[in-house]
Amino acid sequence: MGLRRKTVFIFLLSVLGLGLVSRAFSASPAQTLTPTQSAETPLFKALMSAQADPHSMVYEVKRGDNLTSIAKKNGVTADLIKKINGLSGDKLIPGKKLKIPNYKFSVVVDKSQNTLLLKGNEEALKTYVVSTGKNNSTPVGVFKITDKLIDPTWYKPNAVLPPGSPENILGTRWLGISKEGYGIHGTTEPEKLGQQVTAGCVRMRNNEVEELYAIVPASTEVTIVD
């Protein structure tokens, strides 16, 4: 092969290689989330599996136990115990073995990225795309989840909007934080996720706020950053 043709051939190979690297990088899991995406880690998948893992314990049900008492004693929710262990109801049979997570959960909301990160023992579990407040109206600081509501009623000035009302923007779940009037809730406008459009609350897709609601107990720490 002549020197000129060899040089051109090497150049074309290098261009092709750069193209492959570029495409591989753009497909990386670290890419920016779109409003339709959430990103779960292997730790989250292990958490939601019935299989025991290093971040869980196996509890044998005793006579007189109930889901609420087991959950409270272990700092988790009854909903999470049911979901992980495939329980369809609240009835427990003595001797049954249950997987109980031993994570201490926390939440970090990043206003600049419009993301909510669920953490367990300071390890990243899952990232959700959310909407935050327009004009920097979402408060910054460290808060606690103070109340949890299913199908919340929206009490607004001069109006009470029940669950299911087209004007009730709260969606299917409400997790109030220790800043009066603010919380994490569902939405009737999923197309606006990833934007700063709310009056100050954090909005999530309904199925995702239902998932978060089932995982985090009251008193979970919520950190909101700019």
- List the catalytic residue out of 76, 118, 201, 204: 201
Per annotation, catalytic residue among 185, 194, 203, 222: 185
55 carries an active-site annotation = no
- Count CB neighbours of 212 within 10 A: 20
For this structure, is 185 an active site residue?
A: yes
User: Which of 140, 84, 149, 73 lies closest to 111 in space, CA to CA?
Assistant: 140
Q: Which residues are catalytic?
A: 185, 201
